[in-house]
Structure formats: structure tokens, C-alpha cells
Amino acid sequence: MKVVIVGCGRVGAVLAEAFEKAGNDVIILDRSTGAFDKLPSTFRGNAVRGDGTDEDVLRRAGAQDADVFLALTEGDNRNVMAAQLATEALNVGRVLAKVNDPVRAAAYADLGLATICRTNLMEDTILGFAGLSTAQRPPILAPQGTHPGGEHHRAEAEPAAATSEA
């Protein structure tokens, strides 16, 4: 499988290593080359310095047609945009965006984008640890995400256009 990871933080780096060990081709992007120090010295995948919300950068890194695309930077909006770019423009199979704001995580899950929310995860886990009841939210919202994006909107827009023509 071709796996693209945007954001080489702790999570991005360990996942890059794990996916590579499992025999996948890994491309990892970060805006700072220093971030790649977190990768093990044995990492043979492709570490690319660049903005993962820039289509040209992603294409140059070879992200198109990837099987898995993980947007894991520290910026919710950057993740959401990179993930939507991957779905709409790069023909990527499965896409996941980390969105730490619970409101945004739920809103984008409603739009069909698979999201993982650290705030929800930690809240539920810690409440469970303390023996309190939790919201029992799934760790990944809309995991089968088939992002409807523009189609969703075009479907809404068409009747309006037809009315204005008539």
C-alpha cells in the first residue's frame, strides 16, 4: 500500500515507522525538516519538507492515488483541508483527519470525512479510567467516510439553478 502522512509529530512518526515495518510505501510530509528527527534512522520511506495543504507539494511528493492518507498536523484546519484535497483532487482511497475541536470533528464527520478527535478520545478514556460513565463515542467518526464535498452541494444547487432558468 501507498501511505501518505501529513505532519511528522510523535503520532505521525510512530505511524510512519509502523506502516513501513508492515511493508508499505510511506511518504511523510512536514513543514519543518527538524520534525523528521523523530523518524528512526532506519526509515527508508520518503520524507518531504513542504505544506501538506498545497496540491502542488502533495503531487510532487507523489501523494496521488495513495491507498491511505492521514492528516495529523497540529492544526485542525490544515488537516481538514489536506484531507479534503486528498479526497477531491488526489484520488486517494481512505482518508483520515485529526480534528481536535469536537465541534469541528463532528461537523466534518457529518459531511462524510473520517475524523479522529484527541479531545473526545482522552475525555472518554480518562472518564472511563476514573470509573465515570462516558459518551461511548467511537474512536473514529464516520470511519467509512466517502466525502461528498461538492457533489453534496451541487445536488442542492441544481434545483435552484433550474428554478431561476424557468
Partner 1 sequence: MFVLVVGGGKVGYYLAKELVESGHEVVLMEKDHARADQIADEIGSIVIAHDGCEGKYLAEAGANRADIVAAVTGDDEDNLVICQMAKHHFDVPRTIARVNNPKNEELFKHLGVDELISPTRMILGSIEQDIPVHELLHLGSLGGSDLELIEAPLLPGSPAIGRAPRDLEIPEGCSLFAVVREGRAVPLRPDTILAEGDKVIAIGRAECEAALHGQLIGNAEPVG
Q: Are 16 and 8 a contacting pair, CB within 8 Å?
A: yes
- Decide if residue 112 touches partner 1 (CB under 8 A): no
Which listed residue (25, 62, 64, 111) binds partner 1 by CB under 8 A? 111
Q: Shortest distance, CB of residue 88 to partner 1, whole angstroms?
A: 6
- Decide if residue 104 touches partner 1 (CB under 8 A): yes
Q: Shortest distance, CB of residue 81 to partner 1, whole angstroms?
A: 4
Q: Are 138 and 155 a contacting pair, CB within 8 Å?
A: no
- Decide if residue 84 touches partner 1 (CB under 8 A): yes
- Decide if residue 80 touches partner 1 (CB under 8 A): yes
Q: How many helices (H) and strands (E) does the chain have?
A: 6, 7
- Decide if residue 141 touches partner 1 (CB under 8 A): no
Residue 72's alpha-carbon distances to 63, 105, 139, 165, in angstroms, are 15, 13, 15, 44
- Decide if residue 153 touches partner 1 (CB under 8 A): yes
Where do contacts with partner 1 occur on this chain (CB under 8 A)? 53-56, 75-78, 80-81, 84-85, 88-89, 101, 103-104, 107-108, 110-111, 149-150, 152-153
